[in-house]
Structure 1
Amino acid sequence: MRVTVLHRRLTLDYDGNIRLYSWEKERQTWVVSWQANQKPCRINGVCGANSLCKYVVGSGRKCSCPPGYKMKDSVDWSYGCEPKFDLSHRNKNESVFLLLSNVEFYGYDVGYYSNYSFDDCTNSCLQLHNCNAVQYAFETGDCFCKSLLLNGYHSPDSGKNTYLRLPKSFESNKNLVKEFSLDCSREGTIQLDRTYVKNREKGIVKFLLWFACGVGGLELTCIFVVWCLLIKTRKSSDADNQGYGLAATRFRKFTYAELKKATNGFTEEIGIGAWGVVYKGVLSDSRVAAIKRLNEANQGEDEFLAEVSIIGRLNHMNLIDMWGYCAEGKHRLLVYEYMMHGSLAENLSSNALDWKQRFEIALGTAKGLAYLHEECLEWVLHCDIKPQNILLDSNYEPKVADFGLSKLQNRGVLNNPSFSRMRGTRGYMAPEWVFNLPITSKVDVYSYGIVVLEMVTGKNTIMGVHTTNVGVETKNKRLATWVKGKKNGEVATTSWIDDIMDPKMEGIYDKGRMEILVEMALQCLEEDKDERPTMKQVVEKLSSP
């Protein structure tokens, strides 16, 4: 059997890039099989300070000096460029800003300002003695004042512009940008003359030599693996690190102007809740979204962003999908996917659901709550489960909504001061809220039981209300008490399930499965929270054949 031996070497090259070379036996040469940085101009400081890097297909990387600057060392770009004028004598009243299209100097921000006009941005730079350029975005009003002009990068598709601060004397030469090719030839280099003499080595010396080589190889392997992980992490968070990009493709930060435009000035209201008003909008990529404008609160931006970042990582088919957020000044907005069929409450009142759909909605809602309670990293309590907060997509799949900023809590922590006030909607709230008992996930279980009874019976939580001719209320009987009376009370009959079913279903339903659903709902409504099942147990019960 013939064994093929592969020869490779990992090299930190002259330009600061790490490359993996493989030996090609046929051509008797080393070829690059991998490199850490695929964009050579993205290597920090590759062309030196005050310089621009540009990648030209077929020619490689090229370095150049911006207008008003000259090459510091004619043979070595690592020294970068130096100004042709005296920085100490640059008068703020005698300065101009020269546009460098598609040029970015990332890092070294001496000041950052949002919602600034271009004049405000340049004036801010003029007030700083060490500000040499500004990077300004007309779309968002973001202004970055630059001190050290390092990591300059020119790319036709960057979409970013830099305005270079120069004395007025250079204004007439603003179109002169001299480019220099990066000289990486071997001319001028010195070949080291080394002679290796083979001596007889004893066994212990050979062992130590091979041991050292093995340890060195292991270290190189570890460095290589760690470097790959760092590169992967850097690619995923590069925009955040530089302060110019979005958090992620599917979960991003929107500007207030974007969302105001998407909702046509917040005109089409599709819902309202305790947290704020929901509007229908169309994003710039043509996706239809539900945009919730939160009520103005005292919550700080750091706290808001911390909670939103956790919520953005929640991912379950029965939870409403959050696409992004806006935290700009006093504005706090959340961007969700739009649900075509609206809320469960709307569909129950319009007689649009048969018994199968109601059963699947109950099961899907339980799965979503089980994920929040037990499967995600944070313990998320909804605290306001009701038909208005269960939305239905185009296939009538349920999506639990408004869990957004309900409450995040460490698992196992009871009597949390965050629950110092009652949360939820009257008629769906567990007894723990009234009697000031420890708040756990069982409060959501209780509310879920009420919602299931409403789906099955078609009645509201407070039902059977009558008044006399003088307007005095004589009967106020809760839905749960009424269902328990039909099942276990003195008037209980073998057809109790038929007595409580929503008349809109016209007697068309699976009696056995609906009995299981109702009995599970009644278990969820036990006064003692320890007697109630967990949402995971509810899912297991409803999923069993």
Structure 2
Amino acid sequence: MTMSSLFCLLHLLIILTTTPFTCSSFHLLSKGSSISVDHKDDHIVSPNRLFTAGFYKVGINAYSFSIWFTENIQTVVWTANRDVPVNGIRSKLSLYKNGNLVLEDADKTIVWSTETKATNGSLVLKLENNGNLVLYQINGHPYILWQSFDYPTDTLLPNQPFTRNSQLVSSRSRTNFSSGFFKLYFENNNVLSLLYDGPEITSVYWPEPYLKTWDAGRSTYNNSRIAKLDSRGEFNSSDEFGFFVSDFGAKVQRIMKVDFDGNIRVYSLVKGQKWEVQWQAFSRSCKIHGVCGPNSLCTYSSKTGRKCNCVHGYKKKDPNDWSYGCEPEFKPCQKEVKEDFVELHFVEFYGYDLNFLHNSTLEACKQSCLNDCNCKGFQYKFDTGVYNCFLKNLLYNGYQSGFENSVYIKLPKSLVSSYQERFNENSRYVCPSNLTMSVTRSYYKKHEIGTVKALLWFGGGIGVLEILLILIFLYITSRDSSITAQSYYPIGSAFKRFTYTELKKATDNFSKEIGRGGAGVVYKGELSDDRIAAIKMLKEVSDHQGEAEFQAEISTIGRLNHMNLIETWGYCVEGKHRLVVYEFMENGSLAKMLESNKLDWEKKLEIAIGTAKGLAYLHEECLEWVLHCDVKPHNILLDSSYSPKVADFGLSKLFDRSAGEDSDFSRIRGTRGYMAPEWVFNLPITSKVDVYSYGVVILEMITGRSPLQMQQSSGGNSGRDQTLVEWVRDKINDDCVEEIVDVETCGEYDTRSLKNVLNIALQCAEEDRDARPSMSQVVHMLLHPELDD
């Protein structure tokens, strides 16, 4: 035996002896050995026993070679042969002596292989603690011939590099693990993107395709093309896209996955029993391309989830699969067939514009579509003061828009009329099949005259009743122009436009006032679907803000989705009336709770963390750069479990990320006592103004002192009022921390935790904006105080 071979053998023995073994599983697969599907205990297990590699059942007598989490929830994170499963008998994975790792089916057919070669030395296949399956060639030093981290399927593990050569491809469905239609990859312009690669079309849908790259917060000026989710829950990409998961820093197992519905999600394993979503790219799944296929409409509500429906005049192509969408029930482009349009309210079909007519009338748009055989319909949309027409050659990516945009679907006139009849069939009123009555007249039998009169009165009465019922029916259907599209726009949708009459009725003529502020008055109301809502009537926007501008801003607010932001259900814009409809919070505002002294230290700490997470989301994770500009206890609401939700975000000022953070304001915004010095000294306004206000709010929670009351009543030695921030700093300098804490909280707090929160709040309230941390840094410091010691 040569010295080199002896060294290799000793190296291999070291690997073997430093790895714990069990009798029923392997930790290494050596050259010339194999794993058989016939032996159910043939597995490769990672040294920490967190991951297992072996044959995983994906169907009846169908197996794939996969890697999964070992315990409890056997979640698959990688698969070698996802599109060609092997037989449940006599199939095996073998490590050939030439260095090739091969998966063979029962008939010896090679289903999958690494196509690697080793010239000399030892070969070892090992499953690492991080879930990476690695084929090592050991010739003096271990050398990686192949690793599963370079070829992910639909899942990315923490610290697994995602490169220019990587891609995540969704599974076909929840139970079908073969390759689906959605792919995460780096585009040629260096931007991390999501692609819908369907049976008929292909389109990029994330970042939002109508945005320019820099408007979406991305950069094309780095060709390294690499991204990674770290073990703490922070994701960063070379195109400057990044985010923090909502449980950032927690020591839990995580996975990042392109799900079968086309959404990217990051999951955390909670208590080893359940995967919970901690971040997702889309809060509204209907905006994902291709989810319902062509000629269909995607609708969503928080109660029923996502649903697909064929557009009127079309039928489902594959009864078991919405990916193939719907096909026409008629033959298109028949010259002898007259055509007309069905109008769908609150609907948009993204992309595939055949033509664009600027400042067009509705009739001109209809005529253009009727004259073009390839036109399937058109979008008629109000934008920047005029109506524009978008002729469609394909009806893809249909979804609820939430605004009064209409889509007109071109159909044969017979189907257009049946659309009306289809709606009438849902009427509760049923007319008699025979509207006439035969009456026998006799002039020579006087006793029958009374019978004839009775029959005449009875027939006349029925006629009057029918007329009344028809009038009532027409009145009901004419009250809301959107009711003709009822099949396509559920009343219980998550975000909708309300009428002023609806909200007036919901609030009992605006008699249930629950709060008021500089932006407007808030009323409690009960919506038609029995949801309890907070309805804010805005003051200032009615005089200067147009309908289009208000809709654009409220649309942005409606798209934001975070557990620590108040959920926006809809809006109303009629004349000068501007109202926003929010979810109702049982425990009201933080200001109210601070007055009632019902919050102990633990609740206050949770409120501080939750509020910071909500603001960090607004500042750093939205496509639009959203400043709150009025962070104060009145705008932090508490649900039944005292979890905080930031309210009134986005109404102060909305920005596009490409404009940069330094932006001009036409006037000072915010509330005295909570406002950053930048407002007073006319300095550029950035997200740090919210950071300052947040710091003051935290100091108010700790001290129980209102910054506004202190400025009004507490005089300082300098001859001016002393701010809350200055008062706290003086107390800390005098080593009187105990005097800072609200007397209602005394004896209930941890001194070390208190000092950490105080330090963070004072950092946030620094006069120099550059000395203040970002909100994501605040979240990190609150969750990991030990790292800042």
Name the TM-score class by shorter chain.
Answer: 0.5 to 0.7
Q: CA offset at residue 389 of structure 1?
A: 0.4
| Matching residue within 338, 341, 359 for 1:49 | 338
Deviations 1:235-283 (A, max 9, x none): xxxx999799649821111111111111111110011122211100001
Aligned-partner SS, 2:722: strand
Does 1:506 find its partner at 2:746?
A: yes
Structure 2 residue corresponding to 1:333, chosen from 564, 570, 579: 579
Distance 1:439 1:425 in 2: 15
Which residue in the other structure is 2:524 paired with?
A: 280
The residue identity in structure 2 corresponding to 1:485 is: D
Query: Which secondary structure does the structure 2 equivalent of 1:332 belong to?
Result: strand
Which protein is richer in strand relative to its size? 2
Say which SS state the counterpart of residue 679 (structure 2) adopts: helix
Q: Which one-letter code corresponds to 2:746 in the other structure?
A: E
Match of 2:423 among 158, 183, 190: 158
Amino acid in structure 2 at the alignment position of 1:277: V
**Structure 2 residue matching 1:477: 3-state secondary structure:** coil
Deviation of 1:505 after TM superposition, in Å, equals 1.6
One-letter code aligned to 2:730: G
Contact 1:280 1:289 in 2 (8 A): yes
Q: CA deviation at 1:507?
A: 2.4
Q: Report how far residue 41 of structure 1 moved.
A: 5.3
Deviates more, 1:36-45 or 1:249-258: 36-45
Contact 1:17–1:43, Cα closer than 8 Å, also in 2: no
1:528 to 747, 762, 768: 768
Give the alignment of 1:262-277 within 5 angstroms.
262-277=506-521
Which aligned pairs between 1:98-113 and structure 2 lie closer than 5 A?
A: none
Counterpart of 1:388 in structure 2 is 634
SS of the aligned residue for 2:523 comes to strand
State the partner residue of 1:294. 538
3-state DSSP class of the match of 1:504?
A: coil
1:452 to 698, 701, 711: 698
Q: Is the 8 A contact 1:108 1:148 kept in 2?
A: no
Aligned residue number for residue 542 of structure 1: 782
Structure 1 residue 154: deviation in Å?
Answer: 4.0
Give, in whole Å, the separation in 2 of the partners of 1:241 and 1:416: 47
Distance 2:783 2:765 in 1: 20
C-alpha separation between the residues in 2 aligned to 1:240 and 1:379?
A: 36
Q: Distance in 2 between matches of 1:254 and 1:43?
A: 39
Structure 1, gaps ≥5 residues long: 4-9, 21-30, 54-105, 113-139, 163-173, 177-238
Q: Is the 8 A contact 2:316 2:327 kept in 1?
A: no
Aligned mates of 1:294, 1:376 — CA distance in 2: 24
CA separation of 1:251 and 1:42: change in aligned 2, threshold 3 A: farther
Unaligned runs of 5+ in 2: 1-105, 110-198, 201-293, 295-312, 343-375, 383-403, 428-433, 437-481
Quick one: structure 1 residues 380 and 506, their matched pair in 2 at CA, closer, same or farther if it must change by over 3 Å? same
Select the residue among 742, 751, 756 that pairs with 1:516: 756
Residue number among 589, 592, 606 corresponding to 1:360 in the alignment: 606
TM-superposition CA deviations, 1:187-215 (whole Å, max 9, x none): xxxxxxxxxxxxxxxxxxxxxxxxxxxxx
What's the counterpart of residue 307 of structure 1?
A: 553
CA contact (8 A) 1:48 1:151 kept: no
* Distance (whole Å) between structure 2 residues aligned to residue 35 and residue 465 of structure 1: 64
The amino acid of 1:287's aligned partner reads R
* 1:251-266 correspondence to structure 2 within 5 Å: 251-266=495-510
Say if 1:148 and 1:345 are closer, same or farther in 2 by CA, change over 3 A. Answer: same
Query: Who is 1:250 aligned against?
Result: 494
Please, what TM-score do these two structures have when normalized by structure 2? 0.41
Query: 3-state DSSP class of the match of 1:419?
Result: coil
Q: How does 1:87-486 map to 2 (within 5 A)?
A: 149=413, 151-152=415-416, 153-154=418-419, 158=423, 246=489, 249-295=493-539, 296-411=542-657, 413=659, 419-462=665-708, 463=710, 476-486=721-731
Contact 1:320 / 1:399 at 8 angstroms: preserved in 2?
A: yes
Q: Say which SS state the counterpart of residue 297 (structure 1) adopts.
A: helix
Partner secondary structure for residue 582 of structure 2: strand
- Give 1:397 shift: 0.3
Secondary structure at 1:399's aligned position in 2?
Answer: strand
Read off the aligned partner of 1:432 and give its amino acid letter.
E
Amino acid across the alignment from 1:389: N
What is the Cα deviation at residue 33 of structure 1? 8.1
Instruction: Answer yes or no: is the 8 Å Cα contact 1:246–1:252 preserved in 2.
Output: no
Cα displacement string for residues 433-480 of structure 1 (whole angstroms, at most 9, x for unaligned residues): 111111100000000010000000000104275599xxxx97722111
Partner Cα distance (2:679, 2:378) in 1: 52
Return the alpha-carbon distance in structure 1 between the equivalents of residues 529 and 330 of structure 2: 29
Tell me the CA shift for residue 407 of structure 1.
1.2
Read off the aligned partner of 2:690 and give its amino acid letter: D
Structure 2: distance between partners of 1:262 and 1:332: 16
Question: How far apart in 2 are the matches of 1:300 and 1:51?
Answer: 33
Kept in 1, the 8 Å contact 2:315–2:326? The answer is: no
Partners of 1:160 and 1:373 in 2: CA distance:
50
Residue 701 of structure 2 aligns to a residue whose secondary structure is helix
Q: What's the CA shift for 1:362?
A: 0.7
TM-score of the aligned structures, taking structure 1 as reference length: 0.58
Counterpart code for 1:335: V
SS for the counterpart of 2:569 is strand
Query: Between Structure 1 and Structure 2, which shows a larger proportion of helix residues?
Result: 1
Equivalent pair of 1:480/1:522 in contact (CA under 8 Å):
yes
Conserved? CA contact 2:691–2:775, under 8 Å:
yes
CA contact (8 A) 2:316 2:326 kept: no
Instruction: Tell me if structure 1 keeps the 8 A contact 2:341–2:411.
Output: no
CA distance in 1, matches of 2:330, 2:571: 30
In the aligned structure 1, how far is the partner of 2:321 from the partner of 2:626? 47
CA 1:393–1:108 in 2, change beyond 3 Å: closer, same or farther?
closer
CA RMSD in angstroms, aligned pairs only: 4.4
- What CA distance in whole angstroms lies between the structure 2 residues aligned with 1:240 and 1:520? 53
Paired with 2:591 and 2:748, the residues of 1 have a C-alpha distance of: 21
After superposition, give the CA deviation of every residue in 1:83-123 in whole Å (9 maximum; x if it has no partner).
xxxxxxxxxxxxxxxxxxxxxxx97999x9xxxxxxxxxxx
Structure 1 residues 51 and 305: CA distance shift in structure 2, 3 A: closer
Q: CA deviation at 1:309?
A: 1.2
C-alpha distance in 1, partners of 2:580/2:746? 40
Q: Secondary structure at the match of 2:573?
A: strand
CA distance in 2, matches of 1:409, 1:240: 35
Deviation at 1:506, TM superposition (A): 3.2
Query: Does the C-alpha gap of structure 1 residues 283 and 514 become closer, same or farther in structure 2, counting only changes over 3 Å?
Result: same
